């Protein structure tokens, strides 16, 4: 079954990591190294079974290939998952054990933090391997990438507002923000600083309370967030939160947020038909990976901030191509990423060799 899956997904390598003494059960998925070593974070979740964990690793690593290509980075796409409850199962030895597996790949995969992991976990990974980014500044790292992801998303949001409404004045608009995790809360903070009207929800009442008290947001029940008469819907939590059931409920004219895999390509086509402008997730939320990727050559914060501002122009290019070809923005984003991978792939092959073809169906969302 796994080999048939890899035949259609385009992955180069999948590694199963198991250390009973450390309590480690993990999967590393390397989707593509055409542009460089596979870079992507490691998330920790209490997956119900290994099949779900594998599916997550395969799907997310594909997304990282496209995200990194679209962002103009010299890295490929990979992702890792650790099976476990991040609130109770974290130990030093678990992450050091994971680091040893990363190190065994000799630089083909570079890890970083993701959902359920943080800079402290990366510090433990760093004890066993140099192939980790998002570590503490004392090691030449950049620390927590969440503020950079949120700042990059702000650039994508301004480009989207400008395309839809003809201006970038965030304070003129209302936002429904779904998800107040580390990145979502940073995003809310940036919106508040610019005078936005905020409606927020999260499964954790304490996070909602913090957003209400700190940023003047209005609390909304989780299932009611879709029905608000707002200008912008910002998914910052669940994957595929926008689907055939929830899309018809949206009253927003713009969808722009920080979550991964916010909707399928099919749903994206329907959103476009409804006059909703969608800023593709992996274009908008690339700020974090842009930031940590600079650690590979030597981190500089000014350079990182400058790089994240390119997200504005990238999102504009996506909308231009979508309009020109009369396609949904997701497809336009895929085409731009695939064109870069194919072009760079030709440079790296011996003369006379045929480069691999990158097709949108490899993302598994069509």
Q: Tell me the catalytic residues.
A: 79
Tokens of 259: 């979550």
Measure the CA–CA gap between 54 and 49, rounded to whole angstroms. Answer: 9
d(CA 255, CA 94): 38
Helical H segments across 171-328, by residue range: 182-193, 205-215, 265-273, 281-284, 287-293, 301-308, 310-325
CB-CB contact of 271 with 278 (8 Å)? yes
Dihedral class, residue 85 (left if φ above 0, else alpha if ψ from -120 to 50, else beta):
beta
Q: How many Cβ atoms are within 10 Å of 248's Cβ, its own excluded?
A: 10
Provide φ and ψ at 14, rounded to 5°. Answer: -130, 130
Q: Could you tell me the sign of the dihedral formed by the alpha carbons of 105, 100, 9, 260, in that order?
A: negative
Handedness of CA 115, 278, 292, 299 (dihedral sign): negative
- Cα–Cα distance for residue pair 2/262, rounded to 1 Å: 26
Q: What is the dihedral of CA 216, 219, 225, 229, to 10 degrees?
A: -50
55: Cα separation from own chain's centroid:
16
Length in residues, the chain: 366
Dist. CA 235–CA 217, nearest whole Å: 16
Burial class (CB in 10 A: 0-12, 13-18, 19+), 292: buried
Q: How far is CA 62 from CA 131, 235, 353, in A?
A: 20, 20, 24
Torsion angle of alpha carbons 364, 269, 313, 260, nearest 10°?
-40
């Amino acid at each position: 079954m796994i080999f048939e899956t890899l035949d259609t997904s385009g992955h180069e390598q999948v590694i199963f990591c198991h250390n009973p003494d450390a309590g480690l059960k993990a999967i590393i998925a390397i989707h593509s190294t055409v542009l460089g070593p596979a870079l992507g974070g490691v998330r920790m979740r209490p997956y119900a079974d290994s099949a779900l964990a594998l599916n997550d690793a395969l799907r997310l690593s594909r997304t990282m290939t496209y995200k990194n290509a679209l962002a103009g980075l010299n890295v490929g796409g990979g992702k890792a998952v650790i099976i476990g409850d991040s609130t109770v199962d974290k130990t030093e030895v678990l992450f050091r054990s994971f680091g040893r597996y990363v190190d065994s790949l000799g630089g083909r995969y570079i890890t970083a933090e993701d959902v359920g992991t943080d800079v402290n976990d990366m510090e433990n990974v760093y004890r066993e391997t140099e192939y980790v980014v998002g570590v503490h500044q004392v090691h030449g790292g950049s620390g927590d990438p969440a503020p950079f992801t949120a700042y990059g998303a702000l650039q994508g949001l301004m480009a989207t507002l400008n395309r839809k409404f003809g201006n970038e004045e965030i304070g003129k608009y209302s936002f429904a923000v779904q998800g107040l995790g580390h990145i979502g809360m940073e995003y809310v903070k940036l919106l508040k600083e610019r005078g936005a009207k905020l409606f927020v929800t999260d499964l954790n009442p304490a996070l909602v309370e913090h957003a209400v008290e700190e940023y003047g947001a209005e609390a909304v029940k989780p299932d009611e967030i879709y029905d608000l008469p707002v200008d912008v819907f910002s998914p910052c939590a669940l994957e595929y939160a926008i689907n055939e059931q929830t899309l018809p409920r949206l009253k927003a004219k713009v969808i722009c947020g920080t979550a991964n895999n916010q909707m399928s390509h099919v749903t994206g086509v329907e959103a476009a038909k409804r006059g909703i402008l969608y800023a593709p997730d992996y274009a908008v939320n690339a700020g974090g990976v842009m930031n940590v990727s600079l650690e590979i050559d030597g981190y500089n914060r000014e350079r990182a901030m400058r790089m994240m501002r390119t997200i504005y122009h990238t999102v504009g290019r996506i909308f231009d191509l979508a309009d020109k070809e009369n396609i949904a923005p997701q497809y336009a984003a895929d085409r731009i990423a695939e064109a870069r991978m194919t072009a760079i792939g030709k440079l790296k092959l011996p003369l006379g060799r045929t480069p691999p073809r990158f097709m949108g169906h490899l993302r598994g969302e069509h």
